[in-house]
Structure 1
């Protein structure tokens, strides 16, 4: 019999009720119970029953369908993790924690849940935060208004930092949910910004909007901005993300040739598109393919063509079998794919593009061209700063995200950082959720917490209403397919030798989340484990070591009813 000490000490009106019997929940089991007009999720682990909110704070996924780890639960859709004892968010995406309620086991075995009424008003919870104390002369500066910068700022205030806190944002708008841009182009900032304007004022977070850092002098702890103003710092976090790669192909300066990185880009593309537009997308990157999916519905009387250098989209990252099925998914939706070719010239009338000439001699009519050719690191301003950079512009950091300069940290796209899922090899990974996590770890270490990274990448995309999830990281030499690729209900295991290093799933939730949690807890999945039943491993509880416990498979009362699927976007454009 255990007691969960998740107490709300804020006062106010409370609601309490016996929601079930302790015997109804097995060890490592989960159960959704009615609680007045609301519901709570009960989880039993190590003899203790915890009660938390039922929905992920990111896009509302039902957590009963998630992956139960050691003391936390991972969202089945996008991989966010929440502590069972506190409800605090521990891995990302998303900014908010979830409610956590008091639990008491009564003498007769009844499970009594107690909650402040205010806790039941929302499925999200903002952690307590400090604000600016004028007596604290310290200055922490964050360069970058993406998810890494946002989470870093919030975590600093949550951890008790009361000095001046400056966030330098190149865009003229507050940080926003950038991954929505490749789903829908005509957003306004008020619909997608991560926090309302009042949030920053309330917590003493100083946003410098529309300003770019042009240099950093680590010998003087000085950041110079593009208006010649300067900011002196005690600690610095750099998370400037990436910028779209632009080719020097003849004609690439013609009008109506676009890249997509920010809200302004999305607005320009939206304005150029009409129902009869002939759209050509260059590159079979995730951004390129997502844009093709978005454009085909808008350009119902026109056409959408994707030009790719490789024979199969995503063949390197997802393998030819999965990549080929994605290609067919697009052709089934009337998107034309032209693979194995490159662009030789953009032709126009002297002002605006009207044709794309290809390496095979063919020409594709085009009113709008969207480039999805990858990106480069936005770190040019760091030259001469004393901060070590790699030849490609990325910034090597240690397990604490600290650069070679004391008190200077880097995260998000630009950071060549250790990846726990890849045996702590240093990698640059441009994932939305990982950028959030970098922001948290950087903030903790700016506060002298000495918290090392423990990164397990989790990626997702949605194409024509079909969700693809990918967890793990590493090169592979073989794949094992379980399920039916054609009907888009499968798991693809990526193997290096006998070890499974990553997984891609479609219609198999929460398998990707289970794999991510297994790896996070120090476990391994071997190819030989898949031979008899490729899904059996996911039914065994995850112990702290990541090894299967000698216990009955983890159970849930039932799967939640089909919920509204997550917003159709991917986590690729992190711009952190």
Structure 2
């Protein structure tokens, strides 16, 4: 389907209204102005504060290395200087597609020429009794992070439910605060299906060596408490793990309610085409909430990353200002877990073979993930040069085989350079 290829339909009738003031929403507003768009741009954010960065909340912020003032996505005068109307503490509650009007929870009515849904995602609720006890906290917003900073000052027994990126990042923050957390997950490997088995095994080993107790293949069945406060986590085998602080990190759900109420197609996200357009030519969706065609692996995917949010925003802004192109950016991700730096280029989903290259000097490693003979992703731990070379390699389409990577002298950067040189030397 190619609904979104039709160029600019964003002029007039209220300009562009963006629902969601996270990374994707702010970037699309900025990119529209950079592309010369001069009709109104309105940015609607549900939280009662200017837009801020979320990734540092579970990393530098909890470690006390990043003050509140440095979390801002843009400077104080950014929105005013660019003529972007920023509405914070407002929630979109109704969407009239026929009249092209958005209504907010305070009764404000916003007409639009084009509507951008950048509504993000919210934490998946923990489906066990006791989730509302005092001392049970998620980690998605700045309010959550501030509460966790306060609780870490007095906590003794911390249990983290969910061994994904957020859970393991928080575990590292606990260790920095002098605590030895317990992390449990129903899955058998850390970071679920987001990484390969060798990378998961390495992180499990390293977290264990640093003082985190990992209980994989362990399901929580109840959070128990006394006088309204959490005191422990009961597991399926009847064990109760003491806890005066429980942090839940069992994934997120895309915020699709507004789209669904308006009759737009949703399927683990707001369904869009390769141009990030919904079936309504006046509405697009980007970022964590958008389910889009995978240009490399086929099917439909939804990604939760700063790279995806920012690149989709730029791609959409280009279409709305007359320079339509399909979205095909190479995905990349990162997770900083204490002194463990994971960087991923590509998507390892569906890989069937890995080649591991270790660096004994730095205790770093890179895992090359193949589907058949095709390289689909590279996961690097404390190997930033490998990560940057892998991004260039995957984006270029240069062929690299498992046998190439397994060679004793293999270097992604050198392999890329040789391939580029050979291409230049090839006769026309």
Tell me whether the two structures share a fold, i.e. TM-score over 0.5.
yes
Choose 501-510 or 232-241, whichever is displaced more: 501-510
Distance 2:380 2:423 in 1: 26
SS in 1 for 2:51: coil
Cα deviations by residue, 1:439-475 (Å, 9 ceiling, x for unpaired): 1111111223112212211111112212111101131
* Residue of structure 2 aligned with 1:287, choices 166, 169, 172: 166
Match of 2:87 in 1: 208
Residue of structure 1 in register with 2:71 after alignment: 192
Does 2:327 match 1:464? no
Give 3-state SS (helix, strand or coil) of 2:334's partner: strand
Partner of 2:127: 248
**Distance of 1:315 and 1:487 partners within structure 2:** 26
Q: Tell me: CA distance 1:136–1:234, structure 2 relative to 1, closer, same or farther (3 Å).
A: closer
Question: Partner of 1:175 in structure 2?
Answer: 51
Structure 1 residue 416, shift from structure 2 partner:
1.3
For these two proteins, the number of residue pairs brought into alignment is 411
Q: Secondary structure of the residue that 2:194 maps to in structure 1?
A: helix
- Tell me how large the CA RMSD over aligned residues is: 2.3
Show CA shifts across 1:180-207 (max 9, x none).
1001236654221011221111111111
C-alpha displacement of 1:382: 1.8
* CA displacement 1:36-88 (0-9 Å, x = unmatched): xxxxxxxxxxxxxxxxxxxxxxxxxxxxxxxxxxxxxxxxxxxxxxxxxxxxx
* Corresponding position of 2:200: 323
Counterpart check, 1:156 vs 2:32: yes
**Deviation at residue 210 of structure 1 after TM alignment:** 0.6
Equivalent of residue 184 in structure 2, options 303, 307, 327: 307
Alignment of 1:342-361 (within 5 A): 342-361=219-238
Instruction: Tell me what 2:4 maps to.
Output: none
Partner of 1:128 in structure 2?
none
CA distance in 2, matches of 1:172, 1:259: 19
In structure 2, how many angstroms separate the alpha carbons of the residues matched to 1:163 and 1:137?
Answer: 10
The answer to whether structure 1 residue 482 and structure 2 residue 357 are counterparts is yes
Query: Do the aligned partners of residues 228 and 188 (structure 1) sit closer, same or farther apart at CA in structure 2, a change above 3 Å counting?
Result: farther
The equivalent of 1:257 in structure 2 is 136
2:392 alignment partner, SS class = helix
Structure 1 residue 525: Cα displacement = 2.5
Equivalent of residue 402 in structure 1, options 261, 270, 277? 277
Query: What is the CA deviation profile of residues 73-118 of structure 1, one whole-angstrom value per residue up to 9, with x for unaligned ones?
Result: xxxxxxxxxxxxxxxxxxxxxxxxxxxxxxxxxxxxxxxxxxxxxx
What is the match of residue 382 of structure 1?
259
TM-superposed deviation, 1:487: 5.8
Deviation per residue, 1:134-164 (Å, 9 max, x gap): x976421111111111110100000111111
Please say if residues 386 and 405 of structure 1, whose CA atoms lie closer than 8 Å, have aligned partners that are also in contact: no
Contact map agreement 1:431 1:459 (CA 8 A) in 2: yes
Q: Which has the higher helix share?
A: 2
Match of 2:404, SS state, is helix
User: In 1, are the aligned partners of 2:404 and 2:410 still within 8 Å (CA)?
Assistant: no
The 2-side partners of 1:410 and 1:542 are apart by 38
Q: 3-state SS of the aligned residue for 1:383?
A: helix
**1:317 CA displacement:** 2.7
Aligned to 1:548: 420
Pick from 375, 391, 395 the counterpart of residue 520 of structure 1.
395
Q: Which runs of 5+ in 2 are unaligned?
A: 1-10
Change over 3 Å in CA distance of 1:510–1:349 after alignment to 2: same
C-alpha contact (below 8 Å) 1:348/1:355 kept by paired residues:
yes
Is residue 2:229 matched to residue 1:362?
no
Contact 2:224 2:232 in 1 (8 A): yes
* Aligned equivalent of 1:141: 17
Q: Where do 1:49-68 residues align within 5 Å?
A: none
